[in-house]
Structure formats: structure tokens, C-alpha cells
Amino acid sequence: MTALDPRPSVIDERLKRVKRIVAVTGWKGGIGKSVTACTLALLLAKKGYKTGLFDLDLSGASDHIILGAKGLFPREEKGLEPPVYEGVKFMSLVFFSENKAVPLRGANVSDAIIELLAITQWGELDFLVLDMPPGINDAALDVMRFARRAEVLAVTTPSVIAHDVLERSLALYRSLKAPVLGVVENMARGAKTNGAAASLGFDPGLEAALGRPAALLKTAFSRDLDGALKGLKLLN
């Protein structure tokens, strides 16, 4: 007889005091998914919301680079308590991988994500921002299965290819009855396209601000995202 996995009920308990979970997702590389997730978390924290950020991109964790977060490690207390950085509770696999590639495949990827969700103590939060695994695969579907209240915030670019993949992926999420907050079109060339809820113009100063949260919050990218928060129904 196969033993029941207790972790799903543990995950429910870990997320019980989190008011809203925002799953920032995208299906093409280099579209700005991680920068959007990090900037969103910093903006929410700056506005006084209790905010967490969870980098679940096991193959390419980069939130620590975007934030400039160094020398951090979770505290062990009946699980793992994420360190607080720039007002944000921050958790990432990179804490355990020594910033090296993680050679996980298939079921091992899912198991690692489920384990991280089960052992992380978030406490009381207004928002938990998930930097999702790229694409729609076992890892991404497992996150949505166990973080059942997650609302999807999709990131894309003006590329025809990116939009085509976006439409197919959103259709799948909707078939799973996952709430979709909206679409952020990054590096936009002008007016909103293809039903994007938020349009973020190309910001030539963004790259230089990476690794410096204070500078990141002063970028045009951050201002555009901040202006889109109400339209995305993240704030009243």
C-alpha cells in the first residue's frame, strides 16, 4: 500500500495566512518574467503591504541577481523562515544550490517544488509573488495544483511568436479554472496590443538598475508597472 504524501495538507497550512498569491508566469525566455516578479514584490512592499517573493524557476533562478540579494539564508524554525530583504520575505532554491545549475529531471523537479512549498514558513502576508517555472510543464502545473488560490499574471512581449504561445497557454490555464489577473506586455512599442492589461515600454536604463532595488524602483519600467497595478486589480 502506497503511503499518502502529507505535504499537500502541510502546504495548505503554510499558505493559510497569505491573503493573495500572484503567479507571475511567461512562456518564452527573455521576456522579463523575473524582473516583473521582483519589481512587483518591491512595489507592494514599498506601499506597506506584507509581501513575499518565491523564486520557483529551478532551472534558471535569477531573482537574487535582480535584487542584489547576497549572503542570505533562511532561518530554521519548524520549517524554513525566508530572510527579509528590502522589506520582502524572499525564498529561492539558490540558497541551497550555491548558485550552480540544478540537475533535476521530471519527477525530481516536481518533488523539489512540492518540498519547498511544504517547508517554507510564510506567516501572515498580504501578497505572495511567485516567480513561476517557465512554460507549462509538470513544475508549473504542480505549483498551480498546490497553491490553489494563485492568480495568474502573464508576461509577454510584442513578438507575434510570444503572443501566439501566450494565447495557447492562457487557454490552458483557464481550462484549469485558474484566475487570470491579466497580461503585462513588456518592451511595448506603443499602444496596448492583443488585449494586454498593462503596457510597459522599453526601458534602456533597466539593465543598469538590476541588482540595486532602490535604483530599480526609480526606472521607467517600475513606474509603468506601478501605474498598472489598479488596472490589473492588484490594488483597490
Residue 57 has pLDDT above 80, yes or no: yes
In angstroms, the CA 34 to CA 133 distance is 10
Closest CA to 97 of 73, 78, 117: 73
CATH (domain of 128):
3.40.50.300
In angstroms, the CA 161 to CA 225 distance is 23
pLDDT band at 197 (very low <50, low <70, confident <90, very high): low
Beta bridge partners, 81, equal: 75
- What is the reported pLDDT for 5? 80
Question: Is 138 among the domain residues?
Answer: yes
Give per-residue pLDDT as tens, 113-151: 889 999 999 999 999 999 988 777 777 888 888 888 999
pLDDT band at 209 (very low <50, low <70, confident <90, very high): very high
In angstroms, the CA 218 to CA 41 distance is 14
Question: Is 2 among the domain residues?
Answer: no
Residue 12 has pLDDT above 70, yes or no: yes
Mean pLDDT for 206-215 is 96
pTM exceeds cut of 0.75: yes
Q: What angle do CA 183, 184, 190 make, to 5 degrees?
A: 115
Question: Is 236 among the domain residues?
Answer: no
Q: Which domain holds residue 129?
A: 7-228
Residue 192 has pLDDT above 60, yes or no: no
Q: Longest Cα pair distance anywhere in the chain, in angstroms?
A: 59
The residue assigned the cell 536604463 is: 205
Residue 4 has pLDDT above 80, yes or no: no
Mean pLDDT for 177-190 is 85
- What is the reported pLDDT for 1? 41
Residue 41 has pLDDT above 90, yes or no: yes
Residue 100 has pLDDT above 90, yes or no: no
Residue 182 has pLDDT above 60, yes or no: yes
- What is the reported pLDDT for 170? 86
CB 184 within 8 A of CB 154: yes
pLDDT band at 39 (very low <50, low <70, confident <90, very high): very high
* Cell numbers given for 40: 512587483
In angstroms, the CA 38 to CA 88 distance is 10
What DSSP state is assigned to residue 75? Answer: E
Tell me the CA distances in angstroms from 46 to 76, 105, 155, one per residue in order.
27, 37, 22
Question: Is 92 among the domain residues?
Answer: yes
State how many domains the chain has: 1
Q: Please give the mean pLDDT across all residues of the chain.
A: 87
Question: Is 234 among the domain residues?
Answer: no
In angstroms, the CA 153 to CA 164 distance is 17
CB 46 within 8 A of CB 123: no
pLDDT band at 153 (very low <50, low <70, confident <90, very high): very high
Closest CA to 117 of 143, 99, 139: 143
What DSSP state is assigned to residue 156? Answer: E
Helix or strand holding residue 20 (H, E) = strand 18-25
Question: Is 49 among the domain residues?
Answer: yes
In angstroms, the CA 122 to CA 14 distance is 6
Mean pLDDT for 100-107 is 68
Mean pLDDT for 218-235 is 91
Question: Is 18 among the domain residues?
Answer: yes
